Amino acid sequence: MIKYMFLLFISLLLFVSCNDSSNVKEKVNNPEAMALDTYKPGFGEFMTNVQIHHAKLWFAGKYQNWALADFELNEISETIDAIKKYQQERPETKVLSILNPAMDSVRVSIRQQDQKLFVKSFTDLTNTCNACHQSVKFGFNVVKIPDTPPFSNQDFSVKQKAAR
Protein backbone atom coordinates (compact mmCIF):
# COMPACT_ATOMS: atom_id res chain seq x y z
CA MET A 1 0.00 0.00 0.00
CA ILE A 2 2.78 2.38 1.03
CA LYS A 3 4.61 1.49 -2.17
CA TYR A 4 1.59 2.48 -4.24
CA MET A 5 1.19 5.73 -2.39
CA PHE A 6 4.86 6.47 -2.99
CA LEU A 7 4.43 5.78 -6.72
CA LEU A 8 1.38 7.98 -6.82
CA PHE A 9 3.33 10.76 -5.11
CA ILE A 10 6.22 10.47 -7.59
CA SER A 11 3.90 10.52 -10.59
CA LEU A 12 2.14 13.57 -9.20
CA LEU A 13 5.49 15.31 -8.82
CA LEU A 14 6.41 14.42 -12.38
CA PHE A 15 3.07 15.65 -13.62
CA VAL A 16 3.46 18.99 -11.86
CA SER A 17 7.03 19.55 -13.08
CA CYS A 18 6.18 18.59 -16.67
CA ASN A 19 3.31 20.97 -16.60
CA ASP A 20 5.62 23.71 -15.39
CA SER A 21 8.19 23.29 -18.13
CA SER A 22 5.54 23.13 -20.84
CA ASN A 23 4.21 26.40 -19.47
CA VAL A 24 7.60 28.05 -19.94
CA LYS A 25 7.86 26.62 -23.45
CA GLU A 26 4.40 27.91 -24.26
CA LYS A 27 5.43 31.41 -23.20
CA VAL A 28 8.64 31.39 -25.22
CA ASN A 29 6.70 30.33 -28.30
CA ASN A 30 3.96 32.83 -27.65
CA PRO A 31 5.06 36.48 -27.77
CA GLU A 32 1.70 37.63 -26.48
CA ALA A 33 2.07 35.59 -23.30
CA MET A 34 5.60 37.01 -22.90
CA ALA A 35 4.32 40.56 -23.39
CA LEU A 36 1.86 40.07 -20.55
CA ASP A 37 4.83 39.60 -18.25
CA THR A 38 6.48 42.89 -19.22
CA TYR A 39 5.99 46.14 -17.35
CA LYS A 40 2.98 48.32 -18.02
CA PRO A 41 2.21 51.51 -16.11
CA GLY A 42 -0.67 51.39 -13.64
CA PHE A 43 -3.80 53.54 -13.81
CA GLY A 44 -2.37 55.84 -11.10
CA GLU A 45 0.91 56.30 -12.98
CA PHE A 46 -0.95 57.37 -16.11
CA MET A 47 -2.99 59.75 -13.95
CA THR A 48 0.19 61.32 -12.53
CA ASN A 49 1.18 61.97 -16.13
CA VAL A 50 -2.23 63.55 -16.82
CA GLN A 51 -1.74 65.67 -13.69
CA ILE A 52 1.59 67.07 -14.95
CA HIS A 53 0.18 68.03 -18.35
CA HIS A 54 -2.98 69.43 -16.76
CA ALA A 55 -0.76 71.82 -14.73
CA LYS A 56 1.44 72.72 -17.69
CA LEU A 57 -1.64 73.34 -19.83
CA TRP A 58 -2.86 75.90 -17.30
CA PHE A 59 0.35 77.92 -17.38
CA ALA A 60 0.61 77.73 -21.16
CA GLY A 61 -2.92 79.18 -21.38
CA LYS A 62 -2.22 81.73 -18.68
CA TYR A 63 0.68 83.12 -20.74
CA GLN A 64 -1.37 82.78 -23.94
CA ASN A 65 1.29 80.46 -25.24
CA TRP A 66 -1.16 78.72 -27.57
CA ALA A 67 1.34 76.46 -29.34
CA LEU A 68 2.43 75.05 -25.98
CA ALA A 69 -1.18 74.82 -24.74
CA ASP A 70 -2.08 72.81 -27.85
CA PHE A 71 0.89 70.49 -27.21
CA GLU A 72 -0.04 69.93 -23.55
CA LEU A 73 -3.68 69.22 -24.39
CA ASN A 74 -2.51 66.60 -26.90
CA GLU A 75 -0.31 65.03 -24.23
CA ILE A 76 -3.37 64.63 -21.99
CA SER A 77 -5.31 63.11 -24.90
CA GLU A 78 -2.50 60.65 -25.66
CA THR A 79 -2.28 59.58 -22.03
CA ILE A 80 -6.05 59.04 -21.89
CA ASP A 81 -5.72 56.90 -25.06
CA ALA A 82 -2.91 54.93 -23.41
CA ILE A 83 -5.13 54.23 -20.37
CA LYS A 84 -7.83 52.96 -22.72
CA LYS A 85 -5.29 50.69 -24.38
CA TYR A 86 -3.36 49.40 -21.39
CA GLN A 87 -5.96 49.50 -18.61
CA GLN A 88 -8.94 47.97 -20.41
CA GLU A 89 -9.74 45.70 -17.48
CA ARG A 90 -10.26 48.59 -15.06
CA PRO A 91 -13.97 49.53 -14.87
CA GLU A 92 -13.03 53.23 -14.50
CA THR A 93 -11.59 53.22 -18.04
CA LYS A 94 -15.13 53.22 -19.45
CA VAL A 95 -15.87 56.47 -17.61
CA LEU A 96 -12.94 58.37 -19.21
CA SER A 97 -15.11 59.68 -22.06
CA ILE A 98 -16.80 62.09 -19.64
CA LEU A 99 -13.71 64.27 -20.25
CA ASN A 100 -14.53 64.69 -23.96
CA PRO A 101 -16.83 67.76 -23.86
CA ALA A 102 -14.47 69.75 -21.60
CA MET A 103 -11.42 68.68 -23.62
CA ASP A 104 -13.17 69.74 -26.84
CA SER A 105 -14.01 73.09 -25.32
CA VAL A 106 -10.38 73.67 -24.25
CA ARG A 107 -9.33 72.76 -27.80
CA VAL A 108 -11.70 75.36 -29.26
CA SER A 109 -10.40 78.03 -26.86
CA ILE A 110 -6.82 77.30 -27.95
CA ARG A 111 -7.70 77.33 -31.63
CA GLN A 112 -9.51 80.65 -31.22
CA GLN A 113 -6.81 81.98 -28.86
CA ASP A 114 -9.63 82.99 -26.55
CA GLN A 115 -8.26 83.26 -23.03
CA LYS A 116 -11.64 83.85 -21.40
CA LEU A 117 -13.00 80.67 -22.93
CA PHE A 118 -9.76 78.90 -21.99
CA VAL A 119 -10.18 79.78 -18.30
CA LYS A 120 -13.82 78.68 -18.36
CA SER A 121 -13.19 75.42 -20.17
CA PHE A 122 -10.09 74.60 -18.11
CA THR A 123 -12.21 75.08 -14.98
CA ASP A 124 -14.85 72.75 -16.47
CA LEU A 125 -12.14 70.21 -17.29
CA THR A 126 -10.82 70.31 -13.72
CA ASN A 127 -14.33 69.91 -12.30
CA THR A 128 -14.85 66.90 -14.57
CA CYS A 129 -11.61 65.29 -13.31
CA ASN A 130 -12.98 65.59 -9.78
CA ALA A 131 -16.48 64.44 -10.77
CA CYS A 132 -14.96 61.23 -12.10
CA HIS A 133 -12.78 60.75 -9.02
CA GLN A 134 -15.93 61.13 -6.90
CA SER A 135 -17.95 58.70 -9.00
CA VAL A 136 -15.29 55.96 -8.99
CA LYS A 137 -14.64 56.27 -5.23
CA PHE A 138 -11.28 58.04 -5.59
CA GLY A 139 -12.77 61.33 -4.42
CA PHE A 140 -9.84 61.80 -2.04
CA ASN A 141 -7.75 62.70 -5.14
CA VAL A 142 -8.76 66.32 -5.55
CA VAL A 143 -7.26 68.32 -8.41
CA LYS A 144 -7.42 72.09 -8.74
CA ILE A 145 -6.18 74.97 -10.86
CA PRO A 146 -2.48 75.16 -9.92
CA ASP A 147 -1.02 78.17 -8.09
CA THR A 148 2.56 77.68 -9.20
CA PRO A 149 4.17 76.07 -12.28
CA PRO A 150 4.91 72.37 -11.72
CA PHE A 151 8.57 72.76 -12.71
CA SER A 152 10.99 75.65 -12.22
CA ASN A 153 13.10 74.63 -15.20
CA GLN A 154 10.49 75.31 -17.86
CA ASP A 155 9.53 78.74 -19.12
CA PHE A 156 5.85 78.77 -20.01
CA SER A 157 5.85 82.39 -21.19
CA VAL A 158 8.37 82.03 -24.01
CA LYS A 159 6.53 81.91 -27.28
CA GLN A 160 8.01 80.73 -30.51
CA LYS A 161 8.47 83.62 -32.88
CA ALA A 162 6.03 83.36 -35.74
CA ALA A 163 7.69 82.19 -38.93
CA ARG A 164 8.25 85.02 -41.39
Query: Binding residues for ligand HEC, per CB under 6 A?
Result: 43-44, 47-48, 50-51, 54, 92, 95-96, 98-99, 125, 129, 132-133, 136, 138, 141, 143
Smallest separation (angstroms) from ligand HEC to the CB of 142: 9
Which residue, among 105, 103, 122, has the nearest Cα to 60 in the 3D structure? 122
Smallest separation (angstroms) from ligand HEC to the CB of 99: 5
Give one DSSP letter per residue of 89-125, joined into a string. Answer: TSGGGGGGGGGHHHHHHHHHHHHTT-HHHHHHHHHHH
Smallest separation (angstroms) from ligand HEC to the CB of 130: 8
Smallest separation (angstroms) from ligand HEC to the CB of 30: 29
Closer to ligand HEC by Cβ: residue 99 or 110: 99
Strand, coil or helix: what is 138? coil
Closer to ligand HEC by Cβ: residue 41 or 159: 41
Which ranges in 29-65 belong to alpha helices (H)? 31-36, 43-62
Which residue, among 76, 100, 96, has the nearest Cα to 84 in the 3D structure? 96
